[in-house]
A and B are shown apart, each in its own frame.
Chain A
Amino acid sequence: MKTVALKVLGAIAVLWAAATFTFFVQAALPGDRATLILNQDSGQIIKRSDAELAPVNEKFGFDDPIYAQYVNYVAGLAQGDLGTSYRLKAPVTEIIGEQIWPTIFLTIAALIAAWVMALALTLLTAKRGRIPSALGSGYETFTAALPHYWLGVILLVVFAIELQLFPVEGGSSLIGLVLPALTLGIPLAGFLGQVTRDEFEKVLDQPFVTSARARGMGDFGVRWRHALRHAVLPAITLSGWAIGALFSGAVIAEIIFARQGIGNILVTAANMRDIPLVSGIVMLVALIYVVANLLVDLAYRVVDPRIEVSS
């Protein structure tokens, strides 16, 4: 219990640091923020008079001393207030609140798909003779190096445009989830598969595997009941890290497949230099990352009961 409490505290500390980091990146903006907002609204790039700037500065609090802005920002975050979008003039929380769920849904689907593919590949090819092993590990190396945008485009061209098996524009439908989830899942599966395979092969050489065989256990039993559990441990740890990569990929996949989610908002916002919206999304993803890693930590403890005692 104590360690869990410490982990939660650590997570909060990371979030707070993330907020600080985000804030100072914003504050480092070259030039005047009020001018940026006005120019964005009008689409012109001109110098603004003080009379024009004053109400904007007033509204966003740009005149306050930097520490007051910082305190405001962090206090707002703590209450779930991510600021106000420069462009849409609406609370960031509202804008992304509706769009974050499809993205989370896609991420989870991709994570599950990746695990299923990685485990199947390991169970079927690891230590099963030279050729299956080499094929399996070659496939993993190849897929792990595939960039999301390229894989996504190829899947789109082949399965949606040419074969017309899936809709070209995913929207928010379930069938439209398949290709984006594969886009994210296939490279991750390759990555997790490499790690799991390495560990799996090591475990199969361990004496306890010989012990199990000496009790009369068959090959499948040894793989499924003993080796797999050991082999997934490093992959579980890496899954926590992978959440971040999945969000990066989700942005790209959503753009390629025209899916609902934060991807489109984020890219538009970045193009429009809508700082609160972008940093709001970044903060939200940081939060999700931290929470996901707490869950991963818990999952690790379930699979590896040794942790309770030793730490």
Chain B
Amino acid sequence: MSGALLALPRVQVRFRPGLTLSIALVAFFVIAAIAPSLLTTQDPLKINLGDALQAPSAAHIFGTDQSGRDLYARVVYGARESLFIGLAATALSMSIAFVLGVSAALGNKLTDGAINRFIELLFAFPVLLLSLLFVTVFGAGLTTLIVAVGVGTAPGYARMIRGQVLAVKGSGYVEAAGALGHSYPKVIRRHILPNAMRPLVVLVTLGVGQSIVWASGLAFLGLGVAPPSPEWGALLDAGRTYITQAWWLEVMPGLAIVSFALALTAIGRYVQQRLEGGLQR
């Protein structure tokens, strides 16, 4: 058996076109968020009615919108707000999930049962519907959007974290540490949390993409951040009116969202593989 384990294929350092492309895409969007002027010379807000609703061309690679604004520039300049929403919502949902998941797994039966019920309760509110409820009550806006998406996506992560912590808690090495006379808080600090949290890196990567998808979905329904901002969801919303004449108004911003989410998924998967296989090398 031992021989077979050692003979497992090593993760080779080889060229992965998918991964390279993913990293390039994420880097592109991060630059767009920090310094959009590096990626386009066009002004995303400059109205030029003569150029309205132009299909993608060499001059405007993503085409133009109903006011003749360059769509590529708008996508590039929209990255900052979209990324911010994604990161903030993920940070919120991870914090909620962490507190819920860890206390459920480490708590007694009663705590675990209560938190589990609570997680189930959150599951009964689909992300988008919960967001709509929040928007209805608190009005549309950036904070509402972040809170709604953060709360809405939390239960899934909470359940995963709980499972992970439980698995580590029941592992042989946690028992072995107890048998050596280490105190429980020390065992939690040194074994349970580090081992249980490793997969969290992957969750966070996937989470940012998902949060952006949900937030822009809400914006698509006209319930996102106020219109002049070129946030990706808002672009989608604005393009909806012209869908029969100008497909690019929907397809291009959508492409940005999808490629960003996919790139993050690919990177997350790779990190996961490395984490699982990495200990063997």
Contact = CB atoms under 8 A, between A and B. Distances in A.
B251 A145 contact: no
Interface of A: 10, 13-15, 17-18, 21-22, 25-26, 28-30, 141-142, 145-150, 153-154, 156-157, 161, 168, 241, 244-245, 247-249, 251-252, 255, 266-267, 269-271, 273-275, 278-279, 281-282, 285-286, 289-290
A252 B209 contact: no
B221 interface: yes
Contact of A285 (B126, B137, B251): B126
Contacts of B216: 147, 149
Contact of B258 (A147, A247, A278): A147
B209 to A, nearest CB: 7
B165 interface: no
A18 B222 contact: no
Contacts of B75: none
Contacts of A17: 117-118, 121
A270 B117 contact: no
Contact of B236 (A149, A267, A279): A149
A286 B132 contact: no
B132 A267 contact: yes
B254 A248 contact: no
B120 A251 contact: no
Interface residues of B, number: 44
Interface in B125-165: 125-130, 132-139, 156
Nearest to B264: A145
B135 A270 contact: yes
Most buried by B among A157, A168, A244, A281: A244
A273 B123 CA distance: 24
Contacts of A153: 243, 247, 250-251, 254
A82 to B, nearest CB: 13
A48 B45 CA distance: 39
A248 B215 CA distance: 12
A231 B262 CA distance: 25
A168 B247 CA distance: 14
Interface in B84-131: 117-118, 120-121, 123-130
Contact of B136 (A154, A248, A255, A275): A275
B222 A141 contact: no
B183 interface: no
Given A25-B134, A141-B265, A142-B262, A18 B124 contact: yes
B234 interface: no
A244 B124 contact: yes
Most buried by B among A150, A245, A273, A281: A150
A25 B133 contact: yes
A21 to B, nearest CB: 7
A285 B129 contact: yes
B261 interface: yes
14 contacts: A13-B117, A30-B139, A145-B262, A148-B217, A149-B254, A153-B243, A153-B247, A241-B156, A252-B128, A267-B132, A270-B132, A279-B136, A282-B125, A290-B124
A279 B137 CA distance: 9
List 8 A-B pairs, minimum CB-CB distance, nearest first.
A248-B128, A150-B254, A244-B126, A286-B124, A278-B136, A248-B126, A153-B250, A149-B220
Contacts of A146: 258
Given A150-B254, A150-B257, A153-B243, A271 B223 contact: yes
